[in-house]
Amino acid sequence: MAALYVVDSNSACPSTVDVTSYLSPIATMLPHLVSRYCIVPNPCDMNFSPFLISRIEVPVLLEHPWFSAVAALILLEMAAADQPLNSLSLSEEEVSVAAENYAIAALSMG
C-alpha cells in the first residue's frame, strides 16, 4: 500500500489537520498518475483509492523556517542510508553548519 509520509521539523506549524487538507488533492491524484506514467506489475489490480497521509514524528524542533529545508535534506540523506529517523538529534547550530556545507557544495559544482 502506498502512502504519503510527511517529515517536518516543526510539527506545530502547520497542524496535522492542515497538512492533511493540503495534501488530500495530491493523495487523490497520485494513484492515477502512478498507473498512467509508472510501470506497475499488475495494472489491472491497481487500487485507485487515495494514498494514506501520515506524519512521521522526528525529535527535531527548529523554530526558524529557513532551516526546515536543510533539516529535510538531512532527513532525506538519513533515509537514503537506511538510518532510523527517530535517532536523530539536531541543534539549530548543527543545522546552520549543515546549511553552510550544502551551500559550499552547491557552489563548487558550478
The pLDDT, as a whole number, for residue 79 is: 79
For the question of whether the overall pTM of this predicted structure is more than 0.85, the answer is no
Contact 55, 6 (CB under 8 A): yes
For residue 1, pLDDT beyond 70? no
The pLDDT, as a whole number, for residue 76 is: 82
Determine the Cα–Cα distance for residues 74 and 78; give it in Å rounded to an integer.
6
Residue 15 pLDDT level (bands cut at 50, 70, 90)? confident
Residue 100 pLDDT level (bands cut at 50, 70, 90)? very high
Residues 6 or more apart whose CB falls under 8 angstroms from that of 57 comprise 11, 86
Q: Render pLDDT for 42-76 as a digit per residue (tens, 0 to 9).
A: 767 777 889 999 887 766 666 676 777 888 888 88
Please, is 78 exposed, middle or buried when counting C-beta atoms within 10 Å of its C-beta (0-12, 13-18, 19+)?
A: middle
Mean pLDDT for all residues in the chain: 81
Residue 29 pLDDT level (bands cut at 50, 70, 90)? very high
